[in-house]
Every structure is written in structure tokens, then in C-alpha cells.
């Protein structure tokens, strides 16, 4: 959510940002509602003032045992008026809120302009695309040969778009989660948290998934709960409605959760295998920081995520997303894309975003710059550190051997009971 006052005073800037994003929204209408709202407020508040004073007067008269009938009658009418105006105010402000919730964050100036993914700018590459003396297989085949991923079973259990891991495959999932959590907590200074996988509506609005993306979310109708699409949602909401003491910033959290996404509208090749599934595992990094530091913090966050891939020896590239590609709540975003030799393409395994004060304002997350200063909104950031299925794709495809086995990168071996390779 943007600061309404900011929108009021920087209408052009807001519209410019919307143009860059390719989003059409009637900002002028929002501003009209805003001024109507303020005008109504003035009217009601004046009446309230009048009524407060009169009610006081009535109280005094009654205490003295005097008659207050006349005043009482007058105030009855005033109360009626207030009631009518109140419902108008309520309606207008409800409209303002619902419109405001649909306005995306202002795009950072360093984000490239562009019309689509082709305009994202590659920031750097790490490692090289591995060479093979044979034609590398895709992960689906490898998983089948090794008996570690079974899409027949997952389809039987839940339909298409799910994964079923078995044996060393299941072990690999567990190993990766532990490896990543250890890396971030022991080396990068994050505190590990383990939240519920179901959250209420307020959380989803707080981080910006709702109201816009409700169709993409799994919802438990009876309780109005949502399955978390990412740990970002529960973890960012840890501090919803709080005022954090300045000295405790920055706060870094690392969290494993399963992630649930309906992925409505996906089709074709994308929906095969592990590349796009309804449920996947992810270790997420979330930061709460002072506003003036968020530009540096996103770079550090990105590096923390990159280190996962470096440790695993997987070739990747980092891209700076162009305005059109940046998600609703973010102001700036880097994607990390890992190379999958079997697929022959780069796969997004991490998005590292700066949400500036956008989520903080929605979720009411503030801090005190100094012990007695007025509270201000924090900046929130998060990044995958990283998402598992596509890393598994890259891992299997990168480390596959001619004999059908897959070598386990050294960093992961302690988590695999010292195993060096998975053989058919």
C-alpha cells in the first residue's frame, strides 16, 4: 500500500510508475475519493464536537436535577445526522481502502524499463555450463532411472502438478533443507523460524497476495485460511501491527516451509516434472531493516542466496527484473536462475526483492528510529534461499554420469550420510 498523502502530493510519480509496470488504474478516482473523504470527515467531526459538548452539558444539568429536555431533543437530531454521515464516511473509506490495496508498489529507479522477460538485465553469471560426453537426460528420466521421483504415485495421490520422492530422493529433499538452513543461520546470521503453513486473511493482505491474487491461492473455506504460497507470508507477518525498537533492527529470519500455489493458467511443458508444481519446499530469507539500509540489504540478501548455489557448484545467472516483471508488492527484484542442462534452460530458483515500506504499511510494521522518536515504517525484504524442486532438477541434470548415477556435491554429503553418489 502506498501512503495516501504521498499519492496526493506525487500523483504524477505514481502514474509514471504504473505506466512502467503496464498497470492500468484510475488514480484520479482514488484522489477524488480521498478529498471527498476528508470533506465528510470535517463535517462529522464538527457535529461530534457539538454533541460532545452538549452531552457534557446534559450530564451536568441532570446532576443538578435540572431539566435538559430541550438540549436532549436537539442532540437526538444531531445524532441522526452523525449516523447518516458516518455511514457515508464508512462507504467512501471502504472504497478508498479497496482501491488502495490494488495499487502496486512504486518501481525503483534502478529497475530496467521493458516490456517483458526479454528486457530483464543480466547482472552476472557464476560458473560455466557443464559439458557432457553424452546427451544429458532430463530430470524426469533421471528420477525414474534412480527410482527417487515417481510422478505416477503423486498423480494417484493428488493429481498432476505434484511430486513424490522416494528413498534417496526424499533424503535429498531433507538434506537440501537442512543444508540451506544451516548455511543461513550459522554463516549469514539469520534466526531460524518455523511458522504455521496456514494463515489468516490479514496475513495475506499484509504481504500483498490479497486481494489481487486470491485465485492463485489455496483456501480453506470453512475457516477462511490460506495455505502459504511462500514463507514470506507468515514470517513477514510475525511483526504485523508492531512497533519495533530501532536497536533490534535489522532482523533476519530464515524459514523452511512447504509452499502451495494453484498455478492457475499454467500449461504445456511447464507443467511437467518438477519445474512447476502445486506444492514445493523452500527456505526463505526475510529481513526487516531501517529504510536507509534496504538498498544495501537487498544486495547482501542476494549474495546469501547465491552462496547456496555456489556451494552446490551449480552454474547460475542473476538478472535484474524490468519494471513489467517485478511483482506487485516489490519495488526492485533480482532473480537467480540456475542452469538445467537436461532442460537446456535457466530456471528461476530465487527472487530477492525489496518491498520498501509497501508491506510494512499494509501490515502496520513500524520501528522507532530513536528511543523516543515517532514510529516509522520499516522496509521489508525477502528472497528464496532457495526453492528446492528446480535445484533438484539442476542438481540431477548437472551431476548425472554416463552410467546413470548422479554425483552428490561435496557440501551436501554430510547431509546424505556421507554418500558420494546415487546409483540406479
Partner RNA sequence: GGAGAGGUGGCCGAGCGGUUGAAGGCAGCUGCCUGCUAAGCAGUUGUGGGGGCAACUCCACCCCGGGUUCGAAUCCCGGCCUCUCCGCCA
Max distance between CA atoms of the chain, in angstroms, equals 104
Active site residues: 261, 276, 348, 351, 390
Please provide the DSSP assignment of 23-36 as one string: ----HHHHHHHHHH
Nearest alpha-carbon partner for 328 in 169, 210, 240 = 210
For residue 255, list its beta bridge partners. Answer: 193, 284
Sequence-distant (≥ 6) Cβ neighbours of residue 298 within 8 angstroms: 332, 334, 352, 353, 354, 381, 383
* Distances from the Cα of 92 to the Cα of 12, 89, 423, angstroms: 23, 5, 65
Nearest approach in angstroms of CB 6 to RNA is 11
Owner of C-alpha cell 499519492: 7
Residue 70 or residue 124: which is nearer to RNA going by CB?
70
Nearest approach in angstroms of CB 195 to RNA is 14
Residue 51 or residue 125: which is nearer to RNA going by CB?
51
For residue 338, list its beta bridge partners. Answer: 316, 347
Residues that bind RNA (CB under 7 A): 4-5, 38, 41-42, 44-46, 48-49, 51-56, 58-60, 62, 72, 75-76, 78-79, 90, 243, 366, 371-372, 374-375
Nearest approach in angstroms of CB 132 to RNA is 46
Residue 79 or residue 178: which is nearer to RNA going by CB?
79
Distance separating alpha carbons of residues 372 and 187, to the nearest angstrom: 34
Q: Which three cell numbers stand for residue 289?
A: 531493516
In contact, 258 and 381? CB cutoff 8 Å: no
Sequence-distant (≥ 6) Cβ neighbours of residue 173 within 8 angstroms: 165, 281, 388, 392
Distance separating alpha carbons of residues 56 and 62, to the nearest angstrom: 10
Distance separating alpha carbons of residues 368 and 222, to the nearest angstrom: 39
Tally Cβ neighbours within 10 Å of residue 49: 10
Nearest approach in angstroms of CB 51 to RNA is 5
Residue 72 or residue 419: which is nearer to RNA going by CB?
72
Residue 31 or residue 41: which is nearer to RNA going by CB?
41
Nearest approach in angstroms of CB 39 to RNA is 8
Residue 39 or residue 303: which is nearer to RNA going by CB?
39
Distance separating alpha carbons of residues 391 and 173, to the nearest angstrom: 10
Nearest approach in angstroms of CB 316 to RNA is 39
Amino acid at each position: 500500500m502506498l501512503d495516501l498523502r504521498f499519492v496526493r502530493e506525487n500523483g504524477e510519480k505514481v502514474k509514471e510508475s504504473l505506466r512502467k509496470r503496464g498497470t492500468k488504474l484510475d488514480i484520479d478516482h482514488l484522489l477524488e475519493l480521498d478529498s471527498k473523504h476528508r470533506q465528510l470527515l470535517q463535517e462529522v467531526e464538527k457535529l461530534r464536537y457539538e454533541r460532545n459538548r452538549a452531552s457534557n452539558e446534559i450530564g451536568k444539568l441532570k446532576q443538578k436535577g435540572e431539566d435538559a429536555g430541550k438540549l436532549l431533543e436537539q442532540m437526538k437530531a444531531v445524532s441522526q445526522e452523525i449516523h447518516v454521515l458516518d455511514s457515508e464516511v464508512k462507504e467512501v473509506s471502504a472504497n478508498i481502502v479497496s482501491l488502495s490495496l490494488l495499487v502496486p508498489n512504486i518501481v525503483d529507479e534502478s529497475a530496467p524499463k521493458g516490456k517483458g522477460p526479454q528486457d530483464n538485465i543480466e547482472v552476472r553469471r557464476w560458473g560455466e555450463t557443464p559439458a557432457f560426453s553424452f546427451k544429458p537426460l532430463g530430470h524426469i528420466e533421471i528420477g525414474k532411472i534412480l527410482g527417487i521421483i515417481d510422478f505416477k504415485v503423486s498423480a494417484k495421490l493428488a493429481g498432476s502438478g505434484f511430486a513424490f520422492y522416494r528413498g534417496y530422493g526424499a533424503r535429498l529433499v531433507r538434506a537440501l533443507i537442512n543444508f540451506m538452513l544451516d548455511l543461513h543461520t550459522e554463516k549469514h546470521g539469520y534466526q531460524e523460524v518455523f511458522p504455521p503453513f496456514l494463515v489468516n486473511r490479514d496475513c495475506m493482505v499484509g504481504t500483498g497476495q490479497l486481494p489481487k491474487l486470491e485465485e492463485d491461492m489455496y483456501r480453506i473455506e470453512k475457516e477462511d485460511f490460506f495455505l502459504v504460497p511462500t514463507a514470506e507470508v507468515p514470517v513477514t507477518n510475525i511483526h504485523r501491527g508492531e512497533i519495533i525498537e530501532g536497536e533490534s533492527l535489522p532482523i533476519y529470519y530464515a524459514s523452511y516451509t512447504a509452499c502451495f500455489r494453484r498455478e492457475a493458467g499454467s500449461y504445456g511443458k511447464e507443467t511437467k516434472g518438477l519445474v512447476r508444481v502445486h506444492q514445493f519446499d523452500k527456505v526463505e530469507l526475510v529481513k526487516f531493516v531501517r529504510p536507509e539500509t534496504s538498498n544495501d540489504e537487498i544486495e547482501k540478501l542476494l549474495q546469501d542466496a547465491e552462496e547456496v548455489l555456489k556451494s552446490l557448484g551449480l552454474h547460475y545467472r542473476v538478472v535484474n527484473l524490468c519494471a513489467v516483471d517485478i511483482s506487485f508488492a516489490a519495488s526492485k527484484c533480482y532473480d537467480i536462475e540456475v542452469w538445467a542442462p537436461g532442460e537446456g534452460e535457466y530456471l528461476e530458483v530465487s527472487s530477492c526483492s525489496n518491498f520498501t515500506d509497501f508491506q510494512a504499511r499494509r501490515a502496520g510494521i513500524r520501528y522507532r528510529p530513536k528511543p523516543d522518536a515517532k514510529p516509522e515504517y520499516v522496509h521489508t525484504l525477502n528472497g528464496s534461499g532457495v526453492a528446492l524442486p528446480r535445484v533438484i532438477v539442476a542438481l540431477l541434470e548437472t551431476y548425472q554420469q554416463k552410467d546413470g548415477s548422479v554425483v552428490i556435491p561435496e557440501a551436501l554429503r554430510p547431509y546424505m550420510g556421507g554418500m558420494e553418489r546415487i546409483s540406479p
